[in-house]
Amino acid sequence: MADLLLFRDRGTQCFLFILLFMMFISSSISARTLTCYCDGSCPDNVVNGTCETRPGGSCFSSVEEVYDDMTGTYEEERTYGCMPPEEYGGLLMCKVASVPHLHGKNIACCDSGDYCNRNLHPAFTPKTTTPPPDLPATVVPPERYILIGLMILCVAIFTFVMTGLCLIYRRRQKLHKQPRLINSMCGAQMSPLTQLVEQSSGSGSGLPLLVQRTIAKQIQMVRQVGKGRYGEVWLAMWREEKVAVKTFFTTEEASWFRETEIYQTVLMRHENILGFIAADIKGNGSWTQMLLITDYHEQGSLHDYLQRSVLTPQKLQILAYSLSSGLAHLHAEIFGTPGKPAIAHRDIKSKNILVKRNGQCAIADFGLAVKYISELDEIHIAQNTRVGTRRYMAPEVLEDTLNSKQFEEFKRADMYSVGLVLWEACRRCYTTVHGSKTTICEDYALPYHDVVPSDPSFEDMLAVVCVKGFRPPIPARWQDDDVLATLSKIMQECWHPNPSVRLTALRVKKTLSRLEIDCNDCPIKIV
C-alpha cells in the first residue's frame, strides 16, 4: 500500500517506466551470446576456428611479445578468442590489459557482433629497443557506434513521447473535471447553460450580445407562471433546459432597458441574485416583444413560497442570511479594473425575491434600480415612470423627503423594505409550546395587512407609517427561539423611522452568521 501511495504521482510513474525500459534494452543487449573468431585459443581445442561466448561475454584479440629461444629475439604473437562475461572477470581483463604503460602486451575486446574480433588488431609497445614492425592502426568497428547511437536515439524519442502523453493525459483530466464542478451553494451539478454563462463572462458582465440573441431565438415557451404590472413570466425551454422568460408590456420599455442594463453590470453575478442569461427585442414592424431570460426556480417567489410552506428556524435563518448576502453584494462597490458600482434595488418585496431549490433567496426585478459611480460621484437614476410598491415604501419615500443626491439614502430605504420581508418570513416559522410537543406559527400575511386595504394608496400608507408610526406587530412567541428573537431585533432596527440608524445589509449578514445553527443536513453552511 505504501508503494502504491509513493508512486501515485503520474510524473514519477512515467520516469520509472522509462528507466525500466532502458534497463530492459541494456540487459537484452548484454545477455546475448556472440560467435567469435579464434586461432590457437579455441576452447576444448576445437579446430573449426570459432567459439561462442557465454551470455554477456565478448570477443577479444590480444598481442604479446614472446622471446624465441631459437633465434634469440622477441617476436609478436597474436591470439583471438572468446572472453567470459563481466561477472567472471572478462571485462576487468580487457581493462587491465589495455592500460597504455604495460609494454609488450595488449588486448582489445568487442561485442558489436559476431566475428567482430577478426579485424581487431590491438597495438602494443615492444620491450626491446628494436623498432616494432609496422602494425595496422587499431580498427574500431563502426557497428558499435551505430548501435550506441541508435540506443540513445531510441531512448530520447521514447522519453519525448512518454512525456508528451503524460502532459496530454493531465490536460484531458483537467478538462474532464471542469464540467463536473459542483456549485457548493446549490449542491447540484452545473447545467450546460450555467457553464456557458460562467465561461463567457470573463468580465462578469454576462454573455456577448450575439450569443444572447441566438439563445433568445432558440427559446420555446411552455406555459405562463406569473403576471404583474410590468408583463408576464413564462416557463420556457432552451435545449431541454428550463429557463424563465420575462416578457414586458410595450409600455414598460424603460423597465426592460433598465433591468437589462443592471443585469449586465460588471461583476453583478452572485449566488443570491437571480442569474441573468440573455435579453432581446423581437418585432416585425406591427408588434414588439421585449424578453428577459433568466434562471428558472420552480419554488417561485418568496411570497408564494411562504403561503404554502412552514419554516423551521434553520430554514428561516438560511432564507434571511441569503437575502442579506445578496443585498450586501448589490449595495457594495467593488474597486478595481473591472470594478462594480454600488447598486440600490428600490423595490424590495417578497414577490421580487425567488426561492431556490436549496432554500436560499435570489433577488430579482431591477427595473427601478439605481447605480452609483463613486469616481464621478454620479447617481444614475433611470427615467422610469414606475414607482416602488407602496406597501413596502420607506417613510422618507412616502413623505418625499429622501435626498436623491445621496446614494446612501436609497440603500437605507432598501433596508426598511428588508425588515418587512423578514417579518413576513418569521410569521411562517414555527416554535414549540412550552411543556408540549405542539408547534405553532401565524398564517401568512402581508405587512400592514390589518391596517390598510389590499391595494393601499399613498395616503393610506402615509397615514399609517408616517403619521401614526405603526409597524408590524412582533408576537411574544418569537422570543422563545434564538433565530426568531435575533430576527425580530434586526427587523425593528431596519424599519426605524430615522434612516441613519438602520442596519446595513452587511451588518445583518454578519449578525446572522454568528448565530449557532444545529443542522447536520442543511443545504448551505453559513459563514
Lowest-confidence region among 5-9, 176-180, 350-354, 488-492? 176-180
* Catalytic residue status for 280: no
Among the listed ranges 73-77, 328-332, 494-498, which one has the minimum average pLDDT value?
73-77
Residues 6+ apart with CB under 8 A from 519: 314
The model's pLDDT over 126-156, given as tens digits with 9 standing for 90+, comes to 765 555 555 454 555 666 678 788 888 888 8
In the prediction, which pLDDT does 177 show? 46
pLDDT of residue 13: 62
Contact 370, 379 (CB under 8 A): yes
**Unique residue bearing C-alpha cell 597474436:** 78
Domains in the chain, start-ordered, CATH in brackets?
Answer: 35-140 (2.10.60.10), 189-295 (3.30.200.20), 302-513 (1.10.510.10)
220 forms bridges with which residues in the sheet? Answer: 237
Least confidently predicted of 108-122, 299-313, 359-373? 108-122
Angle (nearest 5°) at CA 375 between 369 and 376 = 75
Q: What percentage of the chain exceeds 90 in pLDDT?
A: 42
In which band, very low, low, confident or very high, does the pLDDT at 31 lie, cut at 50, 70 and 90?
low
pLDDT at 375 over 90: no
pLDDT per residue as tens digits for the range 235-256: 999 888 999 999 998 888 888 9
Does the pLDDT at position 474 exceed 80? Answer: yes
> What is the spatial distance between Cα 44 and Cα 52, in angstroms, rounded to a whole number?
12
- Torsion sign (Cα): 205, 211, 212, 213: positive
pLDDT at 5 over 50: no
Lowest mean pLDDT, pick from 100-104, 427-431, 467-471? 100-104
Global pTM reads: 0.62
Measured CA to CA, the distance from residue 81 to residue 115 in angstroms comes to 10
pLDDT category of residue 114 using cuts at 50, 70 and 90? confident
Query: Highest mean pLDDT range out of 17-31, 130-144, 152-166, 498-512?
Result: 498-512
What confidence tier does 103 reach under pLDDT thresholds 50, 70, 90?
low
Q: How confident is the model at residue 84 (pLDDT cuts 50, 70, 90)?
A: confident
Identify which has the larger pLDDT, 228 or 378.
378
Listed in sequence order, the residues at least 6 apart from 218 whose beta carbon sits closer than 8 Å to its beta carbon are 238, 239
pLDDT at 166: 81
Candidate from 17-26, 73-82, 393-402 with smallest mean pLDDT:
17-26
**Residue 330 confidence (pLDDT) above 90:** yes
Q: How many CB atoms lie within 10 A of CB 370?
A: 21
pLDDT at 171: 72
Residue 145 has a pLDDT of 74
The fraction of the chain above a pLDDT of 70, given in percent, is 75
pLDDT at 360: 96
What local confidence, expressed as pLDDT, does residue 174 receive? 59
What is the SS3 assignment for 461?
A: helix
Answer with the residue of higher pLDDT: 204 or 370.
Answer: 370
Q: How many other C-beta atoms lie within 10 A of the C-beta of residue 488?
A: 17
User: In this model, does residue 43 exceed pLDDT 70?
Assistant: no
CA distance 231 to 292: 11
- As a whole number, the mean pLDDT across the chain is 81
Tell me the mean pLDDT in the region 10-22: 61
| pLDDT surpasses 60 at 454 | yes
* Interval 291-295 mean pLDDT: 94
Mean pLDDT for the stretch of residues 360-370: 94
Residue 96 reports pLDDT greater than 60: no
Best-predicted range by mean pLDDT (27-36, 65-74, 303-312, 378-387): 303-312
Mean pLDDT in residue range 443-462: 95
Q: Residue 418 — φ and ψ, nearest 5°?
A: -60, -40
pLDDT band at 341 (very low <50, low <70, confident <90, very high): very high
The predicted pLDDT at position 350 comes to 97
- What value does the mean pLDDT take over residues 173-195? 50
Residue 184 has pLDDT above 50, yes or no: no
**Active-site entry in 111, 295, 347, 481:** 347
Question: Per-residue pLDDT for 233 more than 90?
Answer: yes
Span 274-295, mean pLDDT? 86
Residue 483: phi and psi, rounded to 5, are -65, -50
Using 50, 70 and 90 to split pLDDT, how confident is the model at 374? confident
Residue 16 has pLDDT above 90, yes or no: no
Q: What is the pLDDT of residues 389-433, one digit of tens each?
A: 999 999 999 999 999 899 999 999 999 999 999 999 999 999 988
- CA separation for the pair 438, 415 (Å, rounded): 34
**C-alpha of 512 from chain center:** 29
Angle, in degrees to the nearest 10, between helices 482-494 and 407-427: 150
Model pLDDT, residue 135: 47
- Helix residue ranges per DSSP H, 44-186: 90-97, 142-177
Predicted local distance difference test score (pLDDT) of residue 37: 85
Integer Cα distance of 353 and 300 in angstroms: 9
Grid coordinates standing for 341? Answer: 458600482
- Asked if the model's pLDDT at residue 2 lies above 50, the reply is no
Whether 312 has a pLDDT exceeding 90, the answer reads yes
Rounded to whole angstroms, the Cα distance separating 219 from 197 reads 16
Q: How confident is the model at residue 484 (pLDDT cuts 50, 70, 90)?
A: very high
